Structure 1
Amino acid sequence: METTLKLLKPALSQRLFKGDLAPIFYISVAKLVFHFVINATGGYGIFRDELYYLACADHLAAGYVDQPPLSVFMLKFSTLVFGDSLFAIRVIPALCGAATIFITGLITLRLGGKWFAQILAGLCSFTLISIGMNSHFSMNSIDIFIWTAVGYIVLRIIQTEDKRLWPILGLVLGLGLLNKIGVLFLGCGLFIGLVITPQRKWLTTTWPYAAGIIALIIFSPYIIWNMQHDWAHLEFIKRASEGKYSGLSPLKFIGDQFLMNNLLASVVWIAGLLTLLFHAQLSQYRWLAFLFLGPLAIFILNGTSKGEYLAPGYAILWAAGSVWWENLTASKMGTLIVRPLLIILIFSLTVVAAPLAAPILPVDKYIAYAKALGEEPSSSESKELSELPQHFADMFGWEEKARDVAIVFNKLSAEEKKRCAIFGTNYGDCGAIDYYGKAYGLPKAIGNHNNYWIWGTREYTGDLIIIMGGSLEDHIENFESVTQEIVSDCQYCMPYEDNMKIFLGRKLKVNIKHVWPNEKHYD
């Protein structure tokens, strides 16, 4: 065994640094270094959802209102190893981004792609959406990695017909579901493709069913958690679709597929899809196309899907399309002109677009840069915007809120501080108190948004509450006395987070535990 490992190590290192794996290895490393440098030198600030994930990591459970638990457990492990600085909490998405590119390259290699195909697939994987997703912690970067891993396993099942790969597929699908339930749609596409293509022969064996059972068993803790919490996640999806995502449409979803990727790279993923479906060159891999088409159809039919939901489905198409382009440009002219031109154009657009997706530029320079490109601030949640798009604006203003709440809190006597609750109306405000409040001596926040509602009132009675947001009219009927204490400003944050009024309410007229069941806010 030791002799075998000694033989494998130099062979693998040779393949990585000089051999057939070198292109994807170096592009993967470049992706990792790209994010590490950004996170170490800037990064704007901790993202709204990152604050919430950190709060969830302090309340480990089998589920949460808006997500399954895997990503939260991964973040908890990461914070125990690396700490909870901005750089530390973004280690996992950076690693996932690099690993996704590497597996995309492996798929390209297995489809017959050589150096050019691997370089092209790697550059295409360096898309606007992947740059953005890997720039902050969320379940999305893990999701993209898992979909790509599923594509690779399915490819190997087709090529090797090795039945031992099915339990591995079930394991990865189960972990994917435990990270984000959108993997259900990937599973639907996988099953549809299995039925439609010659791979249906597997349905006469027990292996696909065993894979499904394994995935279900792994996912079952989240199902049980939902049963115990009145199917909270289904309620969350319903309210989000009717509320913040109601402005989305199938037409916007389709348009976003071109905008969120490198626009020029559309010639690669479209070629990949068509090649898998219709070209004899890769016809034996047609099953792979349905890992994209199945989720695509479901997201369109849903009517209010965000374009980014399909982002995990592109690795297979980048790989297949790159192989097609490599074969098309195999002539001398293609090698000398078309290939370099394609690489240069895609790389150039990636460089131009990168500051729009990741916090690369100082914020004032970003605003000037976006204006020069004619890029208007955008939001997928129909929110009012100012100078920054929502994915950047949500990185600003949080420490200022904790600081201003601390000013109010520190006016109280020592006895009053012990019974004073801090109430936030959304998980960003609550998460800001929980994260930044440690430095200001603040207690953990309570709130009615998503899992903060489930975590409850932390034994507070409502005798004394600092309230973040709203108006005097909103609160005056509920307390014997309410005073506006301070207004919290933030320059680049979301407009609805700016000029936040902070109130001090004394003696809630009804015990907070009695009104709490009616305060639930899922979206």
Structure 2
Amino acid sequence: MTATRPSVPPFAAVPVVSVAAVVGVVLTAVSGRYGYHRDELYFLVAGQKLAWGYVDQPPLTPLLARVSTAMFGNTPMGLRVVSTLACAITVVVVALIAREFGSSRRGQVLAAICAAVSGFVLGVGHLVSTATYDLLAWMLICLFAVKLLRTGDGRWWLALGLTVGVALENKYLVVLPVGALLVALLIVGPREVLRSWWLLAGVALAGLVALPNVLWQIQHDWPQLIVAGGISEDDGVENRIMFVPLQLLQLSPFLVPVWVVGLLRLWRIPWARSVALAYPLLCLVVLAVGGKSYYALPLLLVVVAAGAERVASWSRRVVAVGVGLAAVTSAVFTLPVLPASAVDFVIPINKEQGEQIGWSSLADAVAAQWDRIPAEQRSSATIFTGNYGEAGALRRYGPSLGLPPAYSGHMSFADWERPPDGQTGPVLLVELERTPTYEAHFQGCEQVGTIDNIVSNDEDGAALVLCDSPAEPWSTLWPKLRRYY
């Protein structure tokens, strides 16, 4: 079987690595603009409370956040160093995938450039998120899967298993592309790669690496399923409506010709046909479960890698214009290149831009209202926030403002700490909007301030509400304040 498989061209290491290095330089240059993203503020706290799992995710991203800040400093730039490296490596892996499909030097370089100017790649590379490391893991999984299909060498199942296991320690979404690839193999082949003891060894290796988090989830009654169900229920309809438009916009509309050519090219290669089928299968699954559009984008990058060789033979001017337009639009919509006051322009397409602005100002506003509490009452007073972003911001910026640790019932903040029952004094609430059923847990509530951001993000207009005291002891109240989504 190996003899029927084609060999691959030499790897264009120097130009491909140069493209990746440029991406790294650009991401580093802008990484200090705006500020932390709400999820990054959460990861900073989670990284200080390392465990084998959290209610909403496995442990890898918080661990890497802690490593990055320990080595490079607790600033947005320091936090994002590891993320930037992961993005640069992703660009190289995309070129390696193109090479597996027989791409020459120019095809490999164009594949790397397409990845480098993709809005999705730049967006997740700029921030620390589970999607950042998911993308790199998915690209490695696809590289090893393509090597398996091209060579028929079952030993690649071990590399696949190891990578899947590590990816499961970051996010369970990896089961979606792996499942789509397996189903596609069953439908169009080559099925012989499934008849191997190496497959069982790969599955066992993946399970062994993922086991610590699986055990944690079992011990805690699988809270991640509750979180996933809540997200699907809240956003499922919108996710389905926006799925196709966002597939086009998040990768880049100017890369559509590349992935169309890639799909057609893959379908004409017998051993790679399953890769072409896996993408639409994954799209159907994501649509069915109401998942986010970016869940399918990593496989679309594989298709782009396959199309790069043919597109590289087109008019250089046409390709250069397309790549240039993709680079400019992707940068505007995914990187912090606009003045903060102009970010409202891009929020309808990429709300994550707005989620990086205003957190230090929120902490200042909370500190101003905290100072209104009489000094003799502050030792028994509490700051309670409605979500993990607010709590994370106050944990990051609060100490320098003289604020005590903020608490929240949102996600894993509910597990980490709760106020002691002895804190029976005033409670300063941070609420996205005032909610009577929420405030019913506290006595004598009055709005004392409003968050005024320069952008229309979630926190803009949030209410600061000062209550006289909790209505019950915190130990009794805490389960009622818990929120999984």
TM-score (normalizing by structure 1) = 0.84
Deviation for aligned residue 1:86: 0.7
Q: Structure 2 matches for 1:240-279, cutoff 5 A?
A: 240-249=231-240, 251-277=241-267, 279=268
Choose 258-267 or 408-417, whichever is displaced more. Answer: 408-417
Q: Structure 2 matches for 1:87-106, cutoff 5 A?
A: 87-106=77-96
Q: Secondary structure at the match of 2:468?
A: strand
The corresponding residue for 1:491 is 454
Contact 1:472 1:484 in 2 (8 A): no
Tell me how far apart the structure 2 counterparts of residues 323 and 289 of structure 1 sit (CA, whole Å): 16
Would you say 1:347 and 2:324 are equivalent positions? yes
Would you say 1:378 and 2:341 are equivalent positions? no
The corresponding residue for 1:28 is 20
Q: 1:474 to 1:517 in 2, by over 3 A?
A: closer
Choose 213-222 or 167-176, whichever is displaced more. Answer: 213-222
Structure 1 unpaired stretches of 5+: 1-14, 380-388
Q: Which residue among 429, 432, 435 is the counterpart of 2:390?
A: 429
Q: Which residue among 417, 422, 429 is the counterpart of 1:467?
A: 429
Deviation for aligned residue 1:198: 4.3
- RMSD, matched Cα: 2.4
The corresponding residue for 1:386 is none
Q: Secondary structure at the match of 1:407?
A: helix
Tell me how far apart the structure 2 counterparts of residues 519 and 344 of structure 1 sit (CA, whole Å): 53
Q: 1:170 to 1:491 in 2, by over 3 A?
A: same
The corresponding residue for 1:132 is 123
Deviation for aligned residue 1:175: 0.9
Tell me how far apart the structure 2 counterparts of residues 478 and 104 of structure 1 sit (CA, whole Å): 52
Contact 1:461 1:513 in 2 (8 A): no
Q: 1:320 to 1:515 in 2, by over 3 A?
A: same
Contact 1:83 1:89 in 2 (8 A): yes
Q: 1:121 to 1:463 in 2, by over 3 A?
A: same
Deviations 1:46-75 (A, max 9, x none): 111111111211221121222221111111
* Aligned residue identity for 1:285: A
Tell me how far apart the structure 2 counterparts of residues 256 and 410 of structure 1 sit (CA, whole Å): 45
Q: 1:208 to 1:405 in 2, by over 3 A?
A: same
Choose 46-55 or 292-301, whichever is displaced more. Answer: 292-301
Tell me how far apart the structure 2 counterparts of residues 218 and 192 of structure 1 sit (CA, whole Å): 23
The corresponding residue for 2:307 is 321
Contact 2:46 2:62 in 1 (8 A): yes
Contact 2:452 2:460 in 1 (8 A): yes
The corresponding residue for 1:508 is 470
Choose 98-107 or 459-468, whichever is displaced more. Answer: 459-468
* Aligned residue identity for 2:482: K
Q: 1:225 to 1:252 in 2, by over 3 A?
A: same
Q: Secondary structure at the match of 2:57?
A: coil
Choose 157-166 or 21-30, whichever is displaced more. Answer: 157-166
The corresponding residue for 1:57 is 47
Deviation for aligned residue 1:412: 4.5
Q: Structure 2 matches for 1:256-405, cutoff 5 A?
A: 256-277=246-267, 279=268, 282-302=269-289, 304-326=290-312, 329=313, 334=314, 338-364=315-341, 370=345, 377-378=347-348, 390-405=351-366
Deviation for aligned residue 1:483: 4.4
Deviations 1:303-355 (A, max 9, x none): x22211212222321221112334xx3xxxx5xxx233223322233223421
The corresponding residue for 1:77 is 67
The corresponding residue for 1:150 is 141
* Aligned residue identity for 2:394: I
Deviation for aligned residue 1:456: 4.0
Tell me how far apart the structure 2 counterparts of residues 390 and 260 of structure 1 sit (CA, whole Å): 12
Deviations 1:407-447 (A, max 9, x none): 23344566633332210011111111111112113222111
Q: Secondary structure at the match of 2:466?
A: strand
Tell me how far apart the structure 2 counterparts of residues 472 and 169 of structure 1 sit (CA, whole Å): 48
Would you say 1:178 and 2:169 are equivalent positions? yes
Q: Secondary structure at the match of 1:260?
A: helix
Q: 1:462 to 1:267 in 2, by over 3 A?
A: same
Q: Structure 2 matches for 1:107-118, cutoff 5 A?
A: 107-118=97-108
Contact 1:396 1:493 in 2 (8 A): no
Deviation for aligned residue 1:480: 4.7
Tell me how far apart the structure 2 counterparts of residues 33 and 434 of structure 1 sit (CA, whole Å): 30
Q: 1:20 to 1:501 in 2, by over 3 A?
A: closer
The corresponding residue for 2:209 is 218
Contact 1:275 1:283 in 2 (8 A): no
What is the count of residue pairs matched by the alignment? 473
Q: Secondary structure at the match of 2:112?
A: helix
Q: 1:137 to 1:444 in 2, by over 3 A?
A: same
Choose 61-70 or 288-297, whichever is displaced more. Answer: 288-297
Deviation for aligned residue 1:474: 5.8
Tell me how far apart the structure 1 counterparts of residues 201 and 239 of structure 2 sit (CA, whole Å): 38
Structure 2 unpaired stretches of 5+: 1-9
Tell me how far apart the structure 1 counterparts of residues 135 and 439 of structure 2 sit (CA, whole Å): 47
Q: Secondary structure at the match of 1:243?
A: helix
Contact 2:148 2:154 in 1 (8 A): yes
Tell me how far apart the structure 2 counterparts of residues 514 and 289 of structure 1 sit (CA, whole Å): 54
Q: 1:244 to 1:346 in 2, by over 3 A?
A: same
Share of identical aligned residues, percent?
A: 26
Q: 1:79 to 1:314 in 2, by over 3 A?
A: same
* Aligned residue identity for 2:38: R
